[in-house]
A and B are shown apart, each in its own frame.
Chain A
Amino acid sequence: MKRQGRTRTYRYGSPWGIFMFLLPGLGVYTLFMLYPSLLSLYYSFLYWQGGPIRQAPFVGLENFRAILADPYLLSALGNNGRLLFLNWTIQLPLALLLAYVLSRLSRGASFYRFIFYIPVVLPAATMALMWRFIFSGNNYGLLNNILVRLHLEHLVRGWLSADGIVQWTTTSPSSWVSVGFYMVIFLAALAGIPDEYYEAAAIDGANHWQQLIYITLPNIRGVYVYSMILSLQAALGAFIYPLLMTKGGPLHLSETLISYSLYLLWEKKIWGYGSAVAALSFLLGIFATVLIWRFGRQRQVEW
């Protein structure tokens, strides 16, 4: 009541009224998101080993030069690459396949959709712990137990400690968990293709495969490119599975860019260099997004 009485003085659409409505959202966004992100970029130019920031000298691009010579960073980047590989070769095609099958089911589709989406809504921290239980080398480790029961003892591994394996066991869960998310995106895209296209194709004698290749796929191309960007950003920003499954170990083998930057920031307290690693992941994300967007847009089919 009080509020209404006060704000009635703002004439509808007056500059002052518009300003008052902009202020809360714009202010909070600026203060807690934009300003910190710019600060973080600024930190990446400092030689800052903890301590008061005023005593941290400005070193320009020195941190970024050091990144190029950091062997751990390259292996971390390799793990982001592995995740991207899994996302683009398995996660997205599988999500599309599931969406395509569900879109053609006569019954049960919404039940399957519910089940497939469950991993997406669960806290990632819990999922990471769960996968650690599964891959654990301890007695309760699920995978090794299954292998022993199937008399496949020779396949028993230290899934979270062996070089060449741990890089995949810490990336694949994060790819698995989002399949349901992309599936729902593709379901929406498939549902957006007008029925008439299929009817016209059926009249022309096109079979299911021809319809899939000449109608379905070209029509969801835009959404597929959008999903590729989302999963690329997810691959670059991934950290929680290595962080909670192995702490990036052993010997930083399973680190990703962000988990490595978290290690530098909070364990080693090298805030300048750690910020530079985070900034690198941000810049790579923007660069790749622009690249895919350009590339994907150009070849989009117009109807």
Chain B
Amino acid sequence: MASIGYDDTFQKETPRRIGLGPSSTQEQARHSLWYWLRQVPVHVGLILWGLTCVFPLVWIVLSSLKSTPELYRDPFGIPQAWKWTNYRDAWVYAKMGSYFLNSVFITILSTIVVLFLSSTFAFVLARFDFKAKGPIWAYVLFGFLIPHSMLLVPLAIFTRTLGLYNRLEGLALVYAAVGIPWNTFFLRAFMETIPKELEEAAVLDGAGMWGVFWHVIIPLSQPALATMATFHILASWSEYILALVLTGTTASRTLPVGISLLEGHFTSNEPGVAAGMVITIVPAVIAFAFLQRYVIKGITAGAIKA
């Protein structure tokens, strides 16, 4: 069975088909009319499920372009006059613009930080033997069991003590911290598959630990780092409860928190709320469209490891 491998999962192109079902038996029947007819109900079912995934989003986009009376009168139709000012209302008056920038900043910063923290950590755990390795590994894996909701009260107090409360850097650091167990786990598994000869050659050339890490391990780990970055970006963009508890003012709120507060600021302006929702959705869908293969790879590697 495949492993999360430097020369395995990541180097190969994705196969033509996702699955590896019984291809040989299907191959013969592929051209018959009966084969195609049998496909129809399957596609109808798949399209129906696809509609449940996409239709609500389309509805939100359409709603965001209506006026409030029109939404109440006709919640389904195409907007009669496309009311783009809803977006201005959401972006400027409801402060979604500054929440957006905060979210972008936190997402980027915490992704960089978590990759640094986990890759240095994973490097040592993957490439060296030392006495405390087993206990440290168990200690890190324990983090998988900790739900974020348990961290709220202690962190709310603790970040105030450290002066990190209501600061973007503080929230980014917390996001990086909660990402460490999963990122370290994945990166370690990947780094273990890098051939020993490469680092030995670098050591012979006089490289120290940082040299090997930075010039050998990191460049070779790029596929795994990209996968981890993708997951962290998507997770940080969506995170709600830590952001709600650890920030308190407009200057440091993120989009998910902003959208949940929109309702209060915007009484009876549902189209404005819908516009705010579109602002949170669009970047996530675009990021996913571009980084899709890393998401699939990450889950695949995770499922096989299990």
- Partner-B contacts on A (CB < 8 A): 3-4, 7-15, 17-18, 20-22, 24-26, 28-29, 31-37, 39-41, 43, 53, 98-99, 101-106, 108-110, 112-119, 121-126, 128-131, 133-134, 139-142, 145, 176, 180-181, 184-195, 198-199, 201-202, 208, 211, 222-223, 226, 233, 236-237, 239-240, 244, 258, 261-262, 265-266, 271, 274-275, 278-279, 281-282, 285-286, 289
**A34 adjacent to B143 (CB under 8 Å):** yes
Q: A10-B209, A124-B238 are in contact. Are A29 and B181 (CB under 8 A)?
A: yes
B256 and A101 within 8 A (CB): no
Residues of B within 8 A of A122 (CB): 57, 238, 280-281, 284-285
B270 near A10: Cβ-Cβ < 8 Å: no
Among A41, A134, A192, A211, the residue within 8 A (CB) of B304 is A192
**Can you list 21 A-B pairs, Cβ within 8 angstroms, ordered by A?**
A12-B208, A13-B128, A21-B124, A22-B120, A25-B120, A29-B177, A36-B151, A37-B150, A40-B151, A103-B19, A104-B26, A115-B50, A118-B54, A122-B57, A123-B237, A126-B277, A129-B263, A181-B299, A188-B299, A222-B306, A281-B149
In the complex, the answer to whether A43 meets B154 with C-beta atoms within 8 Å is yes
Given the known inter-chain contacts A37-B146, A37-B151, A121-B234, please indicate yes or no for A198 contacting B208, CB distance below 8 A. Answer: no
B299 touches A190 (CB 8 A): no
Contact A226 B180 (CB under 8 A): no
Given contacts A9-B208, A11-B208, A180-B53, contact A124 B240 (CB under 8 A): yes
**Which residues in A have their C-beta under 8 angstroms from that of B142?**
34
Q: Does B40 contact A (CB under 8 A)?
A: no
Which of A125, A189, A222, A266 touches B240 (beta carbons < 8 Å)? A125
Among A12, A119, A202, max chain B CB count under 10 A is at: A12
Query: A21-B124, A33-B178 are contacts. A192–B154 as well, Cβ < 8 Å?
Result: no
Contact B60 A285, beta carbon cutoff 8 Å: no
Interface residue? B303 (CB, 8 A): yes
The dominant DSSP class at the B interface is helix
In the bound complex, CA of A198 to CA of B46 (Å): 25
Q: Are B120 and A24 in contact (CB under 8 A)?
A: yes
- The CA-CA distance from A140 to B73 in the complex, in Å, is 8
Kindly state whether residue B265 has any CB partner on chain A within 8 Å.
no
Size of the chain B interface, CB-CB below 8 angstroms: 109
Contacts of B90 in A (CB 8 A): none
Given known A187-B19, A188-B304, A239-B149, contact A28–B176 (CB-CB < 8 A): yes
Whole-angstrom distance between the alpha carbons of A35 and B296 in the complex?
33
Q: Does B227 make an interface contact (CB < 8 A)?
A: no
A sample of 16 more A-B contacts (CB under 8 A), given A33-B177, A114-B292, A133-B274, is: A8-B206, A10-B209, A22-B136, A24-B120, A25-B184, A33-B181, A34-B142, A36-B151, A39-B158, A123-B284, A142-B56, A185-B299, A191-B18, A195-B23, A208-B22, A278-B150
A121 touches B121 (CB 8 A): no
A262 cross-chain contacts in B, Cβ below 8 A: 149, 152, 241
B residues less than 8 Å from A115 (CB atoms): 50, 53-54
> By the criterion CB–CB under 8 Å, are A40 and B150 in contact?
yes
Residue in chain A with minimal CB distance to B282: A122
Contact A3 B210 (CB under 8 A): yes
Q: By the criterion CB–CB under 8 Å, are A32 and B174 in contact?
A: yes
Q: Which residue of B lies closest to A190 (CB)?
A: B19
CB-based contact A7/B20 at 8 Å: no
Q: Are A8 and B208 in contact (CB under 8 A)?
A: yes
Choose among A32, A109, A181 the residue that contacts B155 (Cβ–Cβ < 8 A).
A32
Known: A109-B17, A118-B53, A118-B54. A282 touches B150 (CB 8 A): yes
Q: Are A187 and B177 in contact (CB under 8 A)?
A: no
* Minimum distance in angstroms from B100 CB to a CB of chain A: 12
What's the nearest-Cβ distance from chain A to residue B261, in Å? 10
The answer to whether A106 touches B25, judged by C-beta atoms less than 8 angstroms apart, is no
- Does any Cβ of A come within 8 Å of B219's Cβ? no
Residues of B within 8 A of A17 (CB): 208-209
Chain B proximity of A235: nearest CB distance (Å) = 12
